[in-house]
């Protein structure tokens, strides 16, 4: 019998009611042996996530504002779950210990990680499974880099001794013993690392949607569900904004070729989206999905004989690197070159950067286009099919959208267009209609 690893996200473990649902899921499938859990998430739209409240405690402490009221909200939620599930894991004592650590100046990572820690304790008791702390298996260097090989070995050797276990997501330990968290949403990574180390047949990632949709439902009405998608396609879509799974969670699963199945805790009968190594290509499956993000800036440089000038790209990239910024794209022409930067990395430094580029590279002309959106149309089937880009550009032209930039990834499974922010929704709808409907 194969081993399955199931990770349950914040909304799937938000309260006692949800935890009862996950018990049915877990006990209904004998192959699920290891369970990774998030901290309790939102129970309703304007509820707070426990992790957000924990971060809020730390900010209050830093600003010397009383944090006790927020901490009490956290305590109340955990104590209610413990009581409603009828387990006794001394949550009160655990919370007292956390409060003590906070008073003694605990780090932000320690505080943020406690939501997963406490939730895993309660859920382990409720399922009758062992609690195995992530700190003993997931290791980071003291500078915060994941020690992949050590982690893999430690997970394998630790879990070997447990028939069933619940593991808190989101964090591990540095070599010096301090807690280190992944970036937000990082329990997905924990799940993938566990799946890889125990050589799972599948990594089930349970959330509150039945998988990935082909486009954002806030823009396209009732978009189709993605049944199967390859790791690479998904990576392109996630990078461009489709968020269900943490983008870093794909790597461990891909390395071990473990399929990831996105499932819905509230609709366990749905099959969800299967993410595998092999893309699904067929006549009626040219694109897998459309995703995009707003708020990019393009800096376009024009210079005669630029094509013959050695080291131009290197110098341009060097200036941007000196500003500690990452580049999204570098579309080039004969005498033109542009860089596309995310406004978040520009972080108010656009004017300084432009001045530096002008001083060092002396372009004949430099234009800045702000408020650009990038839209990626992703599909492994595109490479083998003529006319995909023609269809895409025609759809945008028919919708009255002016395309400001085009970039096709070298994988040929992705066409990225740059449009003005105001044309973002119209463009996504037009592309979806052309390819899917």
Q: Name the residues that contact ligand ASP, by CB under 6 A.
A: 9-10, 38-39, 49, 51, 115, 169-170, 184-188
Shortest distance, CB of residue 185 to ligand ASP, whole angstroms? 4
Compare residues 265 and 288 and give the one whose CB is closer to ligand ASP: 265
**Rounded Cα–Cα distance for residues 88 and 155 (Å):** 27
Compare residues 116 and 328 and give the one whose CB is closer to ligand ASP: 116
Q: Which tokens sit at 345?
A: 């990395």
**Rounded Cα–Cα distance for residues 10 and 44 (Å):** 12
Compare residues 38 and 152 and give the one whose CB is closer to ligand ASP: 38
Compare residues 77 and 404 and give the one whose CB is closer to ligand ASP: 77
Shortest distance, CB of residue 46 to ligand ASP, whole angstroms? 16
- Helix, strand, coil percentages (3-state) for the chain, rounded to 5, are 40, 20, 35
108-127 helix and 50-62 helix, angle to the nearest 10 degrees = 150
Shortest distance, CB of residue 410 to ligand ASP, whole angstroms? 32
Shortest distance, CB of residue 74 to ligand ASP, whole angstroms? 13
Compare residues 115 and 381 and give the one whose CB is closer to ligand ASP: 115
Shortest distance, CB of residue 82 to ligand ASP, whole angstroms? 19
**Rounded Cα–Cα distance for residues 381 and 388 (Å):** 10
Shortest distance, CB of residue 20 to ligand ASP, whole angstroms? 20
Q: Is the Cβ–Cβ distance between 82 and 89 less than 8 Å?
A: yes
14: Cβ contacts below 8 Å, ≥ 6 apart: 40, 41, 42, 43, 47
109: Cβ contacts below 8 Å, ≥ 6 apart: 171, 178, 179, 180, 181
Which 3 state secondary structure label does DSSP give 42? coil
**Rounded Cα–Cα distance for residues 421 and 294 (Å):** 6
Compare residues 34 and 432 and give the one whose CB is closer to ligand ASP: 34
Compare residues 169 and 223 and give the one whose CB is closer to ligand ASP: 169
Shortest distance, CB of residue 169 to ligand ASP, whole angstroms? 5
Residue with tokens 């893309």: 279
């Amino acid at each position: 019998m194969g081993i399955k690893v199931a990770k349950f996200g914040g909304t799937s473990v938000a309260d006692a009611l949800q935890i009862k649902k996950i018990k049915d899921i877990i006990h209904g499938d004998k192959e699920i042996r290891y369970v990774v859990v998030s901290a309790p998430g939102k129970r309703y739209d304007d509820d707070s996530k426990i992790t957000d409240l924990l971060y809020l405690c730390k900010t209050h402490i830093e600003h010397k504002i009383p944090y006790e009221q927020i901490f009490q909200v956290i305590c109340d939620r955990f104590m209610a779950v413990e009581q409603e599930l009828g387990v006794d894991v001394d949550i009160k004592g655990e919370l007292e210990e956390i409060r003590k650590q906070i008073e003694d100046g605990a780090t932000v990572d320690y505080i943020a990680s406690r939501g997963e820690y406490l939730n895993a304790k309660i859920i382990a008791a409720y399922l009758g499974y062992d609690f195995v702390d992530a700190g003993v298996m997931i290791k980071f260097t003291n500078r915060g880099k994941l020690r992949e090989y050590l982690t893999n070995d430690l997970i394998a050797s630790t879990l070997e001794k447990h028939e069933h276990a619940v593991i808190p997501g989101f964090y591990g330990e540095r070599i010096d013993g301090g807690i280190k968290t992944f970036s937000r949403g990082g329990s997905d990574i924990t799940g993938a690392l566990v799946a890889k180390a125990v050589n799972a047949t599948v990594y089930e990632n349970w959330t509150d949607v039945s998988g990935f949709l082909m486009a954002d439902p806030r823009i396209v009405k009732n978009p189709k569900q993605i049944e199967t998608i390859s790791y690479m396609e998904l990576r392109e879509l996630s990078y461009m904004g489709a968020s269900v799974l943490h983008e870093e969670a794909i790597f461990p699963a891909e390395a071990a070729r473990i399929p990831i199945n996105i499932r819905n805790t509230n609709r366990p009968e749905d099959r969800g989206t299967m993410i595998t190594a092999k893309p699904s290509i067929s006549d009626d499956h040219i694109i897998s999905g459309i995703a995009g993000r707003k708020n990019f800036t393009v800096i376009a440089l024009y210079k005669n004989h630029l094509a013959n000038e050695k080291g131009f790209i290197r110098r341009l990239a060097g200036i941007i690197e000196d500003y500690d910024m990452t580049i999204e794209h570098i579309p080039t022409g004969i005498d033109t070159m542009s860089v596309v930067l995310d406004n978040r990395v520009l972080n108010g430094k656009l004017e300084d950067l432009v001045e530096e580029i002008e001083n060092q590279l002396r372009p004949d002309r430099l234009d800045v286009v702000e408020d650009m959106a990038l839209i990626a149309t992703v599909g492994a089937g595109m490479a083998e099919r003529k006319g995909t880009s023609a269809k895409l550009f025609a759809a945008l032209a028919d919708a009255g959208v002016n395309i400001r930039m085009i970039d096709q990834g070298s994988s040929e499974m992705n066409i990225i267009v740059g449009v003005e922010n105001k044309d973002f929704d119209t463009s996504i709808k037009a592309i979806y209609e052309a390819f899917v409907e």
